[in-house]
Structure 1
């Protein structure tokens, strides 16, 4: 579905990504784990068209994403939920959700998708007239994911969805991600909580200083001594 090959990205003189390559099969959950500054967010931003690589290729369904602008990448079905949510704080919940559908013209299907979001996140339906800025952190994360769903994604990319949230809310968010995947949505997950990410994912890639250090089935990585020592806090 998504093929990333030999991706090189620079920020000025900083070599942020160094020949990164990975694939995502349709219907799978793939996670990128690694420490702060490893290159995880840069990878997502490059796929989304927000960062231009110096070298490499990114193909989604055989479409070269490097040749199209970021808004058209969303139109292709590649949608990112950014780190820190970035909802519209002065719009209410439903207005935020409808912003996710701004490129769409299929009103009847948009209405159906809105109800689908409310089915997944009933709390959003209860608060649909409430301003986004007055929601809790967990509710704002639900809203950010719901807004992305309204863009009709084929690949949903999530950047640190657990950041700053209480454990019980994190569990609820990840149950929703699993539900979306069970209903056919392919997911690329960037997450510092390696334990929960690898429990959820099918495949994992470990990024260290801009390079893929190693990869494998997520359940195998959970048992890998390198992962357990570096990312799970175990000796």
Structure 2
């Protein structure tokens, strides 16, 4: 469904991504785990078209998207939930969600998707007229995910969804991610919390200093001594 091949990204003279390659099959949760600054978020931004200085190939459903403008990539079916949520704090919950559908003009279906978002995240329905900036961190993360879903993505990319959230809220967010995947949504997940990411994912890739160090079945990586020592704090 999505093939990333020999992806290189440069920030000035810094070679941030060094030939990253991986595939995502339809219906999978694929996770990129690794320490802060390893290149995980840069990979998502490159796929989304938010980084210009890149080479390689990114093919989505048999179409090369490297070099496409980001809005066209969203229109093709790839949505990203950015690190730090980045909701519109001055807009209310419903207005934030409708911003996620800005490329669409099918008003009836947009309304149906709005109700679907409220069904997935009932707390958002309770706060539909509340300003986004007044929500808790967990509620803002729910809003950011729901806003991305309003674009009707085929692939949902999430950048550090657990960041800054209490463990009980993280668990709730990841239960929602799993539920969305079970309903057919393909997910690319970037996460520093390797433990929870590998528990929900099918395939994992460990990113170190701009390269994929090793990959495998997520369950196998959870038991891999290299992962346990480096990312799970175990000896």
Q: Match of 1:158? A: 158
Find the aligned partners of 2:139 and 2:230 in 1 and give their Cα distance.
31
Pairwise CA RMSD: 0.6
Q: Which runs of 5+ in 2 are unaligned?
A: none
TM-score in terms of structure 1 length: 0.99
Find the aligned partners of 2:90 and 2:53 in 1 and give their Cα distance.
34
Find the aligned partners of 1:143 and 1:67 in 2 and give their Cα distance.
29
Find the aligned partners of 1:12 and 1:32 in 2 and give their Cα distance.
24
Shift of 1:70: 0.5
SS at 2:232 equivalent: coil
Shift of 1:52: 2.3
Question: After TM superposition, where is structure 1 displaced by more than 3 Å over at least 4 residues in a row?
Answer: none
Q: Match of 1:208? A: 208
User: What whole-Å deviation, never above 9, does each CA across 1:36-66 have from its counterpart, x for those lacking one?
Assistant: 1100000000000001243200000011111
SS at 1:66 equivalent: coil
Q: Which runs of 5+ in 1 are unaligned?
A: none
Q: Residues 32-181 of structure 1 correspond to what in structure 2 (within 5 A)?
A: 32-181=32-181
SS at 2:66 equivalent: helix
Check the 8 A contact 2:52/2:67 in 1, yes or no. no
Corresponding residue pairs, total: 235
Check the 8 A contact 2:46/2:54 in 1, yes or no. no
Q: Match of 1:5? A: 5
Check the 8 A contact 1:7/1:53 in 2, yes or no. no
